[in-house]
């Protein structure tokens, strides 16, 4: 073939690109969620599997109907973002939720939160969390009733701790870690006179924390095993998909505040140090900080913005946990901070090379 | 023994240099015809000094400098001028060029080195020589070198940096020069220092060229090159960008909108340093240069010493290009190089490489921005490319300006890193074009 006749492709530089693509990133997130998924099936059995499958099917179907039928655009299922939303939504549901509620939550997450604003990249709050918040508002009772894990206790407290507490605190045997903890704290405050007898060492912290860490506690599907969540997050960090800034500052802030306001009146007793450890492994903090506060679309893009976002999430989560009506504040803290993202980016532009910082 | 120098931001494309890094520079036989554009530099094009049917010799001036910020061009073969007219230029437009038919005799004009040894010569005299030799920045920017070497007296220069980073993937031309013409290149660096009256010379080399680092550290241990220091740079793109290099080596930053001389630095590329030596000590003008020819469709990659004006077709065929699988031909490196549409376009003074490419970046599915922040992390100027692109898409050029779009150096790091495959650099170019217009408009008022 003569060279002159050959049509060459012309395009602007660069002529080479990084191999990572949107689908590959989303797929990696799904992969990272698999250990936690496996743990949830192990601890909660088939119900976790069923709920997750229901969410996945509904989310993908909703996405497909909106894109293909309503918008008549090429399918977007291949970017796997709907799959990520589905898994995260399922992870935020109690294992005993009736599956039809999961269907509603999924439709809301994809149909309203994601597509009403233009699909991937345009939603301003995390669809999975918004789906959870929607269900919380609509079906508060089933959303807050948790069944125990197949082995072990709801709260992760050891049998002996529970036995010594049940006659003193109502309903502690059926509570998930955070409410159980709050009840114990309340008890301690009320019985201040007997505080010397009822000290923290009645709680077998080591065992409890190991349960929280490995997952033998009640709670939402994906919350159960901190270890599995951390494993997946290390994978994402290694692949440069999540940064450390947001999760570390988020968890760090909760840790620090829980330590300062630990309620024991001292700072360096083993209880005072174990309480914040308990706080960071209990509830949805790991799931939220590692997978939902790091959602690219709904977190700031600038380094400084990310830092403030992480700290803000931590502050709000701690405040809600400590003073709010809900035992768990992680999802609301992230949703609230999502709303602040455009502002955080706008006022935290990086200092450019060769110029003093201005926000003109 | 040396700390590693670097800057903040940047990306890590695969180096792809193995194919040519160990190949000696090979002289490409002069082609039958050369096409020498009168504009091969930033600034005014050269003014034509020959006409059709003139006989010319190697080194003869074809075009005189068209102003201070301009450079003359010289014949690279001997023979007859067969035409003067518009020809395809590698930068993608038609430009007036001189076409010479090679008579194969390689007659040269008499090359006159500087009459006095350069150590004793007046700086002005040396700059004159460099300017007459038509030397421009050979790393890609092609800014006339004599202009860089004549800073105004209120901008003293204390540091000369020789840029041996060669951070673009594939390219090995500078690498080979450092290995094969070490002394000459170092001499060129000393000449630059002498002209500017600087106190320090740095040579910045990326750590992925250990052989060059070894050779140069050995040389600079000698007494005659003792004023030169070596900066071992982290291998990262765009380590060889002027601003990044200055920042890595001296920790200074070029003020936004300013030039390296505003922070006391002058950066010259390896090829330029070598050519300066050649002009000053041998009297040779810039009429040939080293070009790396490589890429996935080039079957015999090489580092070639090429006459300026040789059509890229000659280089590609010499290196046995597989035309059938070639989808793209790039002049320069893959990060900032220009895709070529016309194989008759000639090698010019700033051509550091010609790449034959099989894979395409066009036609890849583009997604909407997912705010992943990769572009922000990658930008060596610390801009927020995703926001800039969004402003440009909406035509909000003024907003793009307040977000400093004019500081963008079009390095391509952001677009390289974008998982949504958004061609961010394209938006930057469009945005900068409009922003320049707005700026000029404002300055008029
Ligand atoms: S092309 Fe411009 S915006 Fe993109 S990384 Fe380079 S300097 Fe930054
Ligand atoms: S790299 Fe691309 S997808 Fe990521 S923030 Fe920048 S423009 Fe958006």
Q: How far is the CA of B420 from the centre of ligand 2 (A)?
A: 6
β-strands B328-331, B265-269: how paired? unpaired
Instruction: Assess contact for B5 and B234: CB atoms under 8 A.
Output: yes
The residue written with tokens 């006409």 in the block is: B51
- Name the phi and psi angles at A165, rounded to 5: -100, -30
Counting beta carbons within 10 angstroms of the beta carbon of residue B122, is it exposed (0 to 12), middle (13 to 18) or buried (19 or more)?
exposed
> pTM for the full model?
0.88
Looking at the CA of A21, name the nearest ligand. 2
Please choose from B11, B361, B365, B372 the residue to mutate so as to test ligand 2's pocket, defined by most ligand atoms within 8 A of CB: B372
Q: Which of B368, B417, B426 to mutate to test the interface with A (most CBs of A within 10 A)?
A: B368
Q: Is B335 in the pocket of ligand 1 (CB under 6 A)?
A: no
CB spacing of B256 vs A354 below 8 angstroms: yes
B417 lines ligand 1 (CB under 6 A): no
Asked if the Cβ–Cβ distance from A22 to B419 is below 8 Å, we say yes
Model pLDDT, residue B66: 85
pLDDT at A2: 45
- Please report the pLDDT score of residue A1 as a whole number: 40
Beta bridge partners of B288: B307
Ligand at minimal distance from the CA of B420 is: 2
Alpha-carbon torsion angle B218, B223, B224, B227, nearest 10? 80
Helix (H) or strand (E) holding A29: helix A22-44
Q: Do B255 and A354 touch (CB under 8 A)?
A: yes
When CB atoms are compared, the residue of B360, B367, B425 closest to A13 is: B425
Query: CA of A187: how far to CAs of A192, A283, A328, A347, B3, in Å?
Result: 8, 21, 19, 45, 60
Greater confidence (A207 vs B318) lies with B318
Positive or negative, the CA dihedral B352, B353, B359, B363 is positive
User: Which residues does chain A have within 8 Å of residue B324's beta carbon, measured at their own beta carbons?
Assistant: 1
pLDDT value for B41? 87
Per residue of chain A (360 residues), give pLDDT as tens.
Answer: 444 446 677 788 888 888 889 999 999 999 999 999 999 999 988 999 999 999 999 999 999 999 999 999 989 998 999 999 999 999 999 998 999 999 999 999 999 999 998 999 999 999 999 999 999 999 988 888 887 787 777 777 777 777 777 777 777 766 777 777 777 777 766 665 454 444 555 667 777 888 888 888 888 888 888 999 999 999 999 999 999 999 999 999 999 999 998 877 778 877 778 888 888 888 889 999 999 999 999 999 999 999 999 999 999 999 998 887 776 789 999 999 999 999 999 999 888 888 754 333
* Structure token digits, residue B73: 């061009």
Q: How near does any CA of chain A get to the CA of B285, in Å?
A: 31
Q: Is the peptide bond before B238 cis (omega within 30 degrees of 0)?
A: yes
A-B Cβ pairs (cutoff 8 Å, strict): 171
- Whether B393 is in the pocket of ligand 2, judged by its Cβ within 6 Å, is no
CA atoms of B253 and B381, how far apart (whole Å): 10
What separation in angstroms does the CA of A27 have from each of A33, A89, A239, B15?
10, 16, 12, 27
Tell me which chain B residue has its CA closest to the CA of residue A11.
B339
ipTM more than 0.90? Answer: no
Q: What pLDDT score does B136 carry?
A: 92
- The finding on whether B11 has its CB within 6 A of some atom of ligand 2 is no
C-alpha torsion angle, residues B408, A294, A49, A131 (rounded to 10): -100
- The secondary structure of residue A358, as a DSSP letter, is -
**A14/B415 touch (CB, cutoff 8 Å), yes or no:** yes
Q: With an 8 Å Cβ cutoff, are A355 and B423 in contact? A: no
Confidence of residue B362 (pLDDT cuts 50, 70, 90): low
At residue B1, does pLDDT exceed 50?
no
Q: Determine the 3-state secondary structure of B96 from DSSP.
A: strand
Q: Give the pLDDT score at A357.
A: 41
DSSP string, A273-337: HHHHHHHHHSTTHHHIIIIITT-STTS-SSHHHHHHHHHHHHHHHHHHHHHSSSS--HHHHHHHH
Closest residue to atom 7 of ligand 1, CA basis = B408
Ligand 1 midpoint to CA B189 (Å): 30
* Contact assignment for B386 to A301 by CB distance below 8 Å: yes
Q: How far apart are CA B424 and CA A336, in angstroms?
A: 30
Ligand closest to B425 (CA) is 1
- pLDDT at residue A216, as a whole number: 80
Say what the alpha-carbon torsion angle A59, A64, A70, A72 is, to the nearest 10 degrees.
150
Residue scoring higher pLDDT (B417 or A5) = B417
Averaged pLDDT score across all residues of chain B: 91
Q: Are the C-beta atoms of residues B348 and B289 closer than 8 Å to each other?
A: no
Report the alpha-carbon distance of residue A89 to residue A282 in Å, rounded: 19
B431 lines ligand 1 (CB under 6 A): no
Residue with structure tokens 């602040």?
A340
Pairing state of beta strands B328-331 and B200-206?
unpaired
Taking residues B136-150, report their average pLDDT: 87
Q: In chain B, which residues have their Cβ closer than 8 Å to the Cβ of A241?
A: 372
Residue A14 CA to ligand 2 center (angstroms) comes to 15
State the distance between the two ends of chain B, measured CA to CA, in whole angstroms: 55
Rounded-to-10 torsion of CA A333, A338, A342, A347? 20
The enclosing H or E element of B178 equals helix B173-180
Of the candidate ranges A23-27, A166-170, B150-154, B387-391, the one whose mean pLDDT is the lowest = A166-170
Closest CB from A8, A15, A350 relative to B334: A15
Pairing of strands B288-295, B302-307: antiparallel
Say which ligand is closest to the CA of B432.
1
What 3-state class would DSSP assign to A6?
coil
Report how far residue A341's alpha carbon sits from residue A346's, in angstroms, rounded to the nearest whole number: 9
Q: What is the pLDDT of residues B90-124, one digit of tens each?
A: 887 788 999 999 998 889 999 988 888 888 889 99
**Nearest atom (ligand 1) to Cα of B379:** 5
């Amino acid at each position: 073939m003569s060279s002159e006749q050959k049509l060459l492709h012309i395009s602007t530089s660069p002529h080479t690109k990084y191999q990572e693509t949107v689908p590959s990133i989303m797929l990696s997130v799904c992969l990272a969620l698999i250990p936690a998924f496996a743990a949830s099936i192990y601890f909660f059995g088939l119900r976790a599997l069923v709920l997750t499958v229901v969410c996945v099917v509904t989310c993908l179907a909703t996405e497909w109907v909106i894109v293909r039928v309503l918008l008549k655009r090429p399918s977007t299922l291949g970017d796997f973002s709907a799959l990520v939303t589905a898994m995260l939504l399922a992870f935020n549901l109690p294992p005993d939720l009736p599956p039809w509620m999961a269907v509603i939550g999924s439709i809301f997450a994809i149909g309203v939160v994601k597509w009403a604003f233009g699909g991937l990249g345009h939603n301003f709050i995390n669809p999975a969390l918004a789906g959870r918040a929607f269900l919380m508002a609509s079906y508060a009772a089933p959303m807050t009733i948790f069944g125990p894990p197949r082995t072990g206790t709801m709260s992760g407290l050891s049998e002996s701790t529970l036995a010594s507490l049940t006659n003193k605190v109502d309903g502690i045997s059926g509570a998930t870690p955070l409410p159980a903890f709050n009840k114990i704290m309340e008890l301690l405050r009320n019985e201040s006179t007997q505080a010397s007898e009822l000290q923290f060492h009645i709680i077998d912290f080591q065992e409890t924390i190991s349960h929280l860490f490995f997952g033998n506690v009640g709670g939402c599907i994906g919350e159960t095993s901190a270890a599995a969540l951390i494993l997946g997050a290390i994978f994402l960090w290694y692949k440069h998909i999540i940064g450390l800034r947001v999760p570390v500052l988020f968890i760090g802030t909760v840790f620090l505040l829980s330590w300062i306001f630990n309620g024991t009146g001292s700072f360096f007793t083993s209880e005072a140090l174990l309480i914040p450890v308990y706080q960071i492994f209990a509830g949805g903090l790991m799931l939220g900080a590692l997978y939902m506060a790091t959602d690219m679309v709904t977190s700031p893009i600038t380094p400084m913005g990310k830092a403030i976002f992480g700290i803000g999430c931590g502050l709000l989560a701690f405040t809600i946990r400590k003073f709010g009506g809900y035992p768990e504040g992680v999802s609301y803290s992230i949703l609230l901070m999502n709303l602040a993202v455009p502002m955080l980016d706008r006022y935290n532009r990086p200092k450019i090379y060769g110029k003093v910082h201005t926000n003109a | 023994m040396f700390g590693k120098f670097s800057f903040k931001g940047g990306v890590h494309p695969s180096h792809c240099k193995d194919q040519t890094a160990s190949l000696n520079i090979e002289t490409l036989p002069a082609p039958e015809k050369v096409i020498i554009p009168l504009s091969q530099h930033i600034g005014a094009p050269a003014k034509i000094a020959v006409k059709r049917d003139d006989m010319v010799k190697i080194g003869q001036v074809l075009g005189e400098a068209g102003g201070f910020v301009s450079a003359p061009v010289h014949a690279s073969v001997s023979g007859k001028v067969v035409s003067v007219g518009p020809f395809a230029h590698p930068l993608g437009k038609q430009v007036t060029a001189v076409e010479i038919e090679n008579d194969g005799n390689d007659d040269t004009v008499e090359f006159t080195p500087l009459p006095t040894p350069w150590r004793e010569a007046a700086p002005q005299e040396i700059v004159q020589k460099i300017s007459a030799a038509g030397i421009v920045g050979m790393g890609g920017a092609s800014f006339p070198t004599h202009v860089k070497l004549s800073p105004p007296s209120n901008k003293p220069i204390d540091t000369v940096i020789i840029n041996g980073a060669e951070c673009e993937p594939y390219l090995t031309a500078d690498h080979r020069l450092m290995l094969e013409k070490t002394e000459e290149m170092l001499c060129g660096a000393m000449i630059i220092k002498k002209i500017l009256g600087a106190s320090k010379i740095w040579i910045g080399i990326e750590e992925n060229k250990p052989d060059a680092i070894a050779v140069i550290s050995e040389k600079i241990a000698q007494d005659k090159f003792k004023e030169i220091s070596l900066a071992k740079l982290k291998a990262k793109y765009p380590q060889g960008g002027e601003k990044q290099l200055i920042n890595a080596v001296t920790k200074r930053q070029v003020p936004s909108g300013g030039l390296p001389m505003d922070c006391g630095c002058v950066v010259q590329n390896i090829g330029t340093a070598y050519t300066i030596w050649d002009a000053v000590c041998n009297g040779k003008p810039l009429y040939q240069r080293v070009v790396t020819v490589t890429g996935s469709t080039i079957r015999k990659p090489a580092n070639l010493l090429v006459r300026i004006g040789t059509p890229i077709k000659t280089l590609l065929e010499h290196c046995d290009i597989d035309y059938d699988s070639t989808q793209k031909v790039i002049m320069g490196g893959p990060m900032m190089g220009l895709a070529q549409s016309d194989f008759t376009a000639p090698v010019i003074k700033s051509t550091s490489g010609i790449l034959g490419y099989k894979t395409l970046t066009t036609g890849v599915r583009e997604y909407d921005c997912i705010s992943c922040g990769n572009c922000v992390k990658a930008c060596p100027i610390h801009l927020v490319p995703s926001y800039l692109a969004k402003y440009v898409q909406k035509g909000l050029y003024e907003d793009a300006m307040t977000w400093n779009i004019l500081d963008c150096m079009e390095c391509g790091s952001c677009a390289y890193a974008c998982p949504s495959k958004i061609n961010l650099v394209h938006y930057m170019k469009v945005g900068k074009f409009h922003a320049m217009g707005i700026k000029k408009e404002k300055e008029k008022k």
